[in-house]
Amino acid sequence: MSLYFFRISTGRYSGAADQPYEFDDRAAAWSEMTEVCANLLGGIARSMKPNAKWSMELLDEHKQPVFRISIVGETVS
């Protein structure tokens, strides 16, 4: 089992978690991360401003990024 931390870049819950989460492997960690993002996505999308970026990272036990999911609101014209 490996230890991982979640870190959110912007918004109400921004910052890295103090308490680690334990997962069997990277696949299990990725699965949990996508589920957490799915649960947060509606609120994030409703409050996102143009040209803003939100991201969640999964950090390893040394707090180095392993995975990142980002949402970007872009103005294209």
pLDDT in tens, the chain (77 residues): 899 999 988 766 667 778 999 999 999 999 999 999 999 888 888 888 899 899 999 999 999 999 999 999 999 88
Other CB atoms within a 10 A radius of the CB of residue 31 amount to: 12
Give the pLDDT confidence score for residue 44 in this predicted structure. 86
SS3 content of the chain, % helix, strand, coil (to 5): 30, 35, 35
Give the pLDDT confidence score for residue 24 in this predicted structure. 94
Give backbone dihedrals phi and psi of 31, rounded to 5 degrees, phi first: -60, -45
